[in-house]
A and B are shown apart, each in its own frame.
Chain A
């Protein structure tokens, strides 16, 4: 799963135009400098990368099944979806 983790970090880092090394698991999208539309774009990129479907509604990010509060929670949620697919 480290591979999945690195690929997600790379996607988020590309979106934020940061070096992947600057990203920490406890950082929120806001901390990383990603706004709500940036998050929608990142999730799209994640879906394309892993061929999964992420349940996310920009109107109620906190109440989706997909936890986007921190980078760590995004990674966990994606890993789960990738595992479910396999």
Chain B
């Protein structure tokens, strides 16, 4: 009896304590908002620079540019279909979000193709669209103050695959002299720096499925801190080859028929390929030259689960989500849309919904969250970049991309996942989630201009 009583007392006490801590945190946050939240022209009161997105480009299973990708997302079109490459008949998983009828010769000359793996080719095409839209030329000082940070998980996987085949299967003892510069993970970033004369901070991030979000978060911080004036950022992946899909098959988390995120009938992820590249630019610089600002990057946060190499953790994901909102000085109620990681695996989708429910409290039932992987597939290291497009479409066009393939509600994923049909809605701020194998999480926050 006594023991029970003291436990109740203890609970009540700890509850009060939590309340007190909560109260303290709230006032500290509001003080921070007052101090840091003031924006004077293109600068925050603390001297940090605001960050504008002034260009975007892509190639993926839905289209070879942004307009065609947006159109497919609005229509809820599926870019996933039968895979087409050598030895596909030896695979158990034969579907993917492949860039159909890829003909590198249509875009690049022989000398370039010798040096560009498919993931570099995709990057260069996406960057071409983004830089053209931004209207920037990186001459003189701007070139010195601009760089490129890209994400990829596997880099030149097709080059590895083709050359392993040459030496192991065909028994040849000689490979092309440029195999290494073609397959290295930083090849795409380096080629972008050369193409546009970007001489500032440049590197490649590899954090599996969160690579692009980590890359874009780093680029955001480069511009925000004043270390760079403009950054090309995003990511690319081209893993749809025999060796790439065979490796994923081994994990037995791939679907053989469709990607159905959040649906009770989901049975795994489907791989995609392609790239997304953005121009992140110092706000004052963009305004001064009269650039069309597509959206503002306002926050970024990353966390590590420190738990399991493949199973996701709701706590780690929630920390990254909450961290991005704090960094952006956004209240949960201000977020209207989340582009979910939403892989369509049993484990990810329920964990992500739990994380969002915790991070947002009652507002979780009012916001929209969709997974566009249902349409373009999982671009692994490039996925966050293509998914940021859906965020920009939501902010700029007021159109929320749907989660297609949705068949049946899952009580463990009881959020508004915008099933099957795009929706019109005005949203002020959005988040884009990425939670990688290895428990590495990265969340970006954007705001409407």
Q: Which residues of A contact B341 (CB under 8 A)?
A: none
Partner of B346 from the list A37, A40, A43, A59 (CB cut-off 8 Å) is A59
Q: How far is the CB of B267 from chain A (nearest CB, A)?
A: 5
A53 to B256, CA, bound (A): 15
> Is the CB–CB distance between B252 and A60 below 8 Å?
no
> Is the CB–CB distance between A59 and B255 below 8 Å?
yes
> Is the CB–CB distance between B346 and A56 below 8 Å?
no
Q: In residues 18-76 of chain A, which contact B (Cβ within 8 Å)?
A: 35-37, 40, 43-44, 53, 56-60
> Contact flags (1/0) for B310-343 with A, using CB distance below 8 Å?
1100000000000000000000000000000000
B227 at interface, CB cutoff 8 A: no
Q: Which positions in A face B, CB cutoff 8 Å?
A: 35-37, 40, 43-44, 53, 56-60
> Is the CB–CB distance between B268 and A59 below 8 Å?
yes
> Is the CB–CB distance between A59 and B311 below 8 Å?
no
> Is the CB–CB distance between A57 and B251 below 8 Å?
no
A39 to B41, CA, bound (A): 57
A36 to B310, CA, bound (A): 10
Q: Which residues of B contact A43 (CB under 8 A)?
A: 252
> Is the CB–CB distance between B252 and A40 below 8 Å?
yes
Known: A37-B310, A37-B311. A59 touches B267 (CB 8 A): yes
Partner of A60 from the list B250, B254, B267, B310 (CB cut-off 8 Å) is B267
Residue total for B at the interface (Cβ-Cβ under 8 A)? 16
8 new A-B contacts at CB < 8 Å, known A37-B311, A57-B268, A59-B268 = A35-B311, A36-B311, A37-B310, A40-B251, A40-B252, A57-B253, A58-B253, A59-B345
> Is the CB–CB distance between B252 and A56 below 8 Å?
yes
B266 at interface, CB cutoff 8 A: yes
A43 to B253, CA, bound (A): 14
A23 to B92, CA, bound (A): 32
A44 to B92, CA, bound (A): 14
> Is the CB–CB distance between A44 and B345 below 8 Å?
no
Q: Which residues of A contact B256 (CB under 8 A)?
A: 57
A57 to B265, CA, bound (A): 13
> Is the CB–CB distance between B253 and A59 below 8 Å?
yes
> Is the CB–CB distance between A57 and B250 below 8 Å?
no
Nearest CB to that of A63 among chain B residues? B267
Q: How far is the CB of A17 from chain B (nearest CB, A)?
A: 18
Q: Which residues of A contact B311 (CB under 8 A)?
A: 35-37
Nearest CB to that of B268 among chain A residues? A59
Nearest CB to that of A40 among chain B residues? B252
Q: How far is the CB of A4 from chain B (nearest CB, A)?
A: 22
Nearest CB to that of B252 among chain A residues? A58
Nearest CB to that of B253 among chain A residues? A58
Q: Which residues of B contact A40 (CB under 8 A)?
A: 251-252
> Contact flags (1/0) for B75-111 with A, using CB distance below 8 Å?
0000000000000000010000000000000000000
A43 to B252, CA, bound (A): 10
> Is the CB–CB distance between A59 and B266 below 8 Å?
yes
> Is the CB–CB distance between B346 and A60 below 8 Å?
yes
Nearest CB to that of B346 among chain A residues? A59
Q: List 11 A-B contacts (CB under 8 A).
A: A36-B347, A44-B250, A53-B92, A56-B252, A57-B254, A57-B256, A59-B253, A59-B255, A59-B268, A59-B345, A60-B346
Q: How far is the CB of B5 from chain A (nearest CB, A)?
A: 37
A29 to B437, CA, bound (A): 23
Q: Which residues of A contact B255 (CB under 8 A)?
A: 57, 59
Nearest CB to that of A56 among chain B residues? B252
Q: How far is the CB of B291 from chain A (nearest CB, A)?
A: 45
Which of A37, A56, A58, A59 has most B Cβ within 10 Å? A59
Partner of A58 from the list B92, B251, B266 (CB cut-off 8 Å) is B251
Q: Which residues of B contact A35 (CB under 8 A)?
A: 311
> Contact flags (1/0) for B226-261 with A, using CB distance below 8 Å?
000000000000000000000000111111100000
